[in-house]
Amino acid sequence: MKALNNRKRAMNETLSLLAGRVLDGQRLDRAEIDTLLKESERDCDDLLYWANKIRQRVFGNKIKVCSIVPGRLGGCDQDCAFCSQSVRYDTPVEKRARLLSDEEILAAASAAAENGVANFGIVYSGRTITEAELERIERLVRQIVAEYGLSVCVSLGIITTAQAERLAGAGVSRYNHNLETSERHFGNVVTTHKYADRVKTIEAAKEAGLGICAGGIFGIGETEADRVDMALELRRLGVDTVPLNFLHPIEGTPLGGARTLKPMQILRIIAIFRFIMPKVNLKIAGGRVLNLRDLQSWMFYAGATSILSGNYLTTAGRAVAEDMQMLADLGLEVERQIHNIKV
């Protein structure tokens, strides 16, 4: 017992030291990150404690809330093994792509504004977009910014710098394009496009001056090393928002039978990402409700600073009002961002 307590005290001192270095602006190296990994999910209270301290020091009590709308749903010819929108898998999502009308997208933007959600995302399924689709998005974004003052993010697959520049010109704040996992594991879950395509799109969006929302999905057969590699690549790319998704297995996809991660495993992942990227906005997105269950409010004490609220693309989330109540109960404040300006 005494030896155990001594070990725990020594580890807590190490974590405090590492948190201090992070807060001094130093980047943790691989060996230091490996030290964090020694904290198992069964005994990671000190890791969560220090991750929370980092969050509080960098972000105060501010939390960002985002909502998304699937502008185009399903009908995707790609083969991401976790995704129900691929036509290659027999899933509840229809094989024919469903395009939301302008009215439906504008109604979702209006609802987001009414609910106090300042960040609104339009997500298209598929590898990329056509010229006609790009023109439509430009028009809709201009309208949403003008009418609702929302900060608009878009997720349209693989794009070029020229396309990204047009999106920036239309008023898009941020481009979402996830790495999903490490380069090493990527080929095990996606074969129809390459990891390098994803990196290139992130670089193109960054070059165009867009903010970058890029993260990944966990529980897809990746190792701990894959998670750390993805975090280090995101840190190298200089992204500003990192969505963390946790597999919600959908019947019919290759990962439909995968075992979901436990809540404490998820909290530990969030905390490790907070240590690796202290200043990025860590957004807990898909799979939050299913996987964290009663421990949802703990995500902030593990270092999360943002949530995707309302429904996800193909699965139900939580009502925005319920999430807003959770934030109020925790004494956390929703950060308002009106079209690129923090207020």
Shortest Å, Cβ 285 to ligand SF4? 13
Nearer Cβ to ligand SF4 (19/204): 204
Cα separation, 282 vs 340, in Å, equals 18
Nearer Cβ to ligand SF4 (196/321): 196
Residue 232, beta-bridge partner list: none
Q: Which of 52, 119, 125, 201 binds ligand SF4 (CB under 6 A)?
A: 125
Segment contacting ligand SF4 (CB under 6 A): 12-20, 24-32, 112-120, 124-132? 124-132
Both tokens of residue 290?
């299913």
Nearer Cβ to ligand SF4 (126/211): 126
Q: How many residues bind ligand SF4 (CB under 6 A)?
A: 9
Q: Is 244 helix (H, G, I), strand (E, B) or coil?
A: strand
For residues 158 and 214, the answer to whether their CB atoms sit within 8 Å is: no
The closest alpha carbon to 47, from 23, 24, 14, 25, belongs to 14
Q: Which residues of 149-174 are buried (b: 16+ CB within 10 A; e: fewer)?
A: ebbbbbbbbbbeeebbbbbbebbbbb
Q: Which of residues 175-234 bind ligand SF4 (CB under 6 A)?
A: none
Q: Is 261 in the site for ligand SF4 (CB under 6 A)?
A: no
For residues 186 and 155, the answer to whether their CB atoms sit within 8 Å is: no
One symbol per residue from 62 to 91: x for binding ligand SF4 (CB under 6 A), - otherwise; what is it? --------------x-x-x--x-xx-----
Cα separation, 111 vs 58, in Å, equals 30
One symbol per residue from 25 to 64: x for binding ligand SF4 (CB under 6 A), - otherwise; what is it? ----------------------------------------
Q: Is 197 helix (H, G, I), strand (E, B) or coil?
A: helix
Q: What is the DSSP letter of 258?
A: P
Nearer Cβ to ligand SF4 (48/154): 154
Q: Is 158 in the site for ligand SF4 (CB under 6 A)?
A: no
Residues forming the site for ligand SF4 (CB under 6 A): 76, 78, 80, 83, 85-86, 125-127
